């Protein structure tokens, strides 16, 4: 009974705030839009064909006006409802599908196929850390992509369209100077937590991936105002701190890596891609400065996962001299694939389906 009373008060408070906001913005367009991320990595933008949600919880049943809701996150048959006022309810939705009007027509999407839904008003697309949602989706199936919905912009150079995972398309970067640069309106480094995930194929896993200025980077992030790259993921023989292999760098943490320096020199030798080092694999770079909450990296700050399995992790450096750099707001950055400036990579790379989330997603097993 007490839990039900607390939940009811929470909804009532949210409703009062919503009513006040609507009165203050009576002349504005209040149409709710949505960005739907599906479990197959597809992303759709559209208009919800429902005005409220009926949620069944352990505390009772609630009718929730849609404009109160920030995001929906689906997992194991349940949904977590996050409100714009930062409150959260978890339960099950009435019905098994949600309906949206999209550019493809009216679609009835089964909840079992939905990963998350972010709601926003036209002209106020979420593109900064503001709740559990998708900050960026780039299909990487063509040299040019319209990223206006994320207030981002992509430039490519010498990238080729090739066959991608699951019968789709992807971009091949196979020479010095081949790269993609995505200009972001935010910096992942300044986010308290997040996830960068994508599909990649390395067609020459026996090729030495090099050292120093010739190491192989899957991606780097350049942040305005910094001379160094605060985020980096790739392969090399020596990261500079005694580690190597498959490695990720988040400034303020020791390098998360699978090997010690000099012990491996090819992707195949690292064994992180199993029996198919030249096949498609799912990569995830996951961080949370207050400590990750999933068992494979409990309490640590950074985890690297391949096909849903954590292969390397790291904790925060005590008294990190870089901590103050994470507190900057409204900092722009550049997400660079196959960097040719800092590391001059010539290692061939095929990439598809890039996503950036503003929360630390728990790795889940992924079938190639």
- Per-residue pLDDT tens digits for 327-358: 776 789 999 998 877 776 778 999 999 999 98
- Percentage with pLDDT > 90 across the chain: 36
Whether 42 has a pLDDT exceeding 80, the answer reads: no
- Region 66-95: mean pLDDT is 86
Q: Are 76 and 19 part of one and the same domain?
A: yes
pLDDT at res. 31: 66
Query: Nearest CA to 169 among 159, 178, 177?
Result: 159
Q: Are 101 and 147 part of one and the same domain?
A: no
- Which of 1-10, 125-134, 153-162 has the highest mean predicted lDDT (pLDDT)? 153-162
Single residue among 97, 120, 143 that ends a domain in this structure: 120
Rounded distance, CA 246 to CA 262, Å? 12
Q: Are 139 and 115 part of one and the same domain?
A: no
pLDDT at res. 155: 95
Report the length, in residues, of the chain.
368
Q: Are 219 and 324 part of one and the same domain?
A: yes
User: How high is the mean pLDDT of the chain?
Assistant: 82
- Region 131-135: mean pLDDT is 67
User: Residue 126 domain-assigned?
Assistant: no
- Region 166-174: mean pLDDT is 89
User: Residue 48 domain-assigned?
Assistant: yes
Whether 260 has a pLDDT exceeding 80, the answer reads: yes
Q: And the tokens for 176?
A: 């010095």
- Percentage with pLDDT > 70 across the chain: 84
**Residue 314 φ/ψ, nearest 5 degrees:** -155, 155
CATH number assigned to the domain comprising residue 348: 2.60.120.200
Q: Are 194 and 311 part of one and the same domain?
A: yes
Q: Are 140 and 235 part of one and the same domain?
A: yes
Range(s) of the domain holding residue 98: 2-120
Domain count for the chain: 2
Q: Are 291 and 144 part of one and the same domain?
A: yes
- Overall pTM surpassing 0.75 (yes/no): no
Q: What's the Cα-to-Cα distance from 68 to each of 17, 21, 116, 177, 315, rounded to whole Å?
A: 9, 10, 16, 47, 36
Query: Nearest CA to 342 among 180, 239, 204, 222?
Result: 222
Whether 212 has a pLDDT exceeding 90, the answer reads: no
């Amino acid at each position: 009974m007490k839990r039900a009373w607390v939940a009811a008060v929470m909804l009532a408070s949210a409703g009062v705030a919503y009513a006040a906001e609507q009165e203050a913005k009576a002349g504005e367009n209040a149409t709710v839009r949505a960005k739907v991320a599906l479990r197959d990595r597809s992303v759709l933008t559209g208009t919800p064909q429902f005005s409220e949600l009926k949620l069944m919880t352990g505390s009772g049943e609630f009718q929730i006006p849609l404009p109160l809701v920030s995001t929906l996150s689906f997992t194991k048959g349940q949904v977590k409802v996050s409100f714009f006022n930062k409150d959260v309810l978890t339960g099950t939705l009435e019905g098994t599908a949600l309906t949206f009007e999209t550019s493809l027509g009216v679609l009835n999407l089964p909840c079992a196929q939905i990963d998350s839904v972010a709601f926003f008003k036209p002209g106020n697309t979420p593109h900064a850390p503001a709740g559990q949602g998708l900050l960026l989706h780039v299909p990487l199936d063509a040299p040019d992509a319209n990223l206006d919905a994320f207030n981002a912009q992509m430039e490519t150079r010498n990238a080729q369209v090739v066959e991608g995972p699951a019968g789709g398309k992807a971009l091949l970067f196979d020479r010095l100077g081949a790269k993609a640069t995505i200009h972001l309106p935010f910096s992942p480094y300044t986010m308290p937590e997040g996830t960068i995930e994508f599909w990649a194929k390395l067609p020459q896993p026996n090729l030495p991936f090099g050292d120093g200025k010739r190491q192989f980077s899957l991606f780097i992030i350049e942040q305005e105002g910094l001379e160094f790259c605060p985020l980096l993921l790739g392969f090399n023989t020596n990261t500079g701190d005694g580690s190597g292999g498959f490695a990720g760098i988040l400034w303020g943490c020791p390098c998360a890596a699978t090997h010690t320096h000099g012990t491996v020199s090819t992707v195949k030798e690292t064994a992180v891609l199993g029996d198919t080092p030249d096949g498609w694999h799912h990569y995830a770079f996951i961080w949370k400065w207050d400590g990750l909450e999933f068992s494979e990296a409990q309490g640590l700050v950074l985890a690297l996962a391949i096909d849903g399995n954590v292969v390397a992790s790291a904790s925060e450096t005590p008294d990190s001299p870089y901590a103050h750099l994470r507190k900057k707001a409204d900092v722009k950055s550049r997400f660079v694939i196959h960097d040719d400036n800092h590391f001059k990579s010539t290692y061939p790379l095929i990439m598809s389906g890039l996503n950036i989330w503003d929360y630390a997603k728990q790795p889940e097993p992924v079938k190639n």
